[in-house]
Amino acid sequence: MKMTIESVDNGYVVSAENYCFVYQEGGPENHIQEMLLDLLDLIGESGGRHDKERIYIDIRPGDKYDG
């Protein structure tokens, strides 16, 4: 899947195939979690336990924080 990220005046636009996501106020670093979850929804099933590869988005606390 080809994906493009374009900067606009008040944020950025992520385009992938026939989909377009708009994230306002700031660059990708301000919306990376939201963008990754949108893309995971877009690609659908991310693989099962018997598949050769799976896609994960794992959110964990930083090294200086307890779980």
pTM of the predicted structure, to 2 decimals? 0.49
Q: In this structure, is residue 67 part of a structural domain? A: no
pLDDT in tens, 6-52: 888 877 788 877 777 787 776 666 777 777 777 777 776 666 778 78
Instruction: Determine the Cα–Cα distance for residues 64 and 29; give it in Å rounded to an integer.
Output: 20
Indicate the pLDDT class of residue 2, thresholds 50, 70 and 90: confident
Q: What is the DSSP letter of 57?
A: -
Q: In this structure, is residue 10 part of a structural domain? A: yes
Please report, for the chain, how many H helices and E strands are present, in that order: 1, 3
Instruction: Determine the Cα–Cα distance for residues 54 and 47; give it in Å rounded to an integer.
Output: 5
Give the range of the structural domain holding residue 9, as residue numbers without chain letter: 1-62
Q: In this structure, is residue 18 part of a structural domain? A: yes
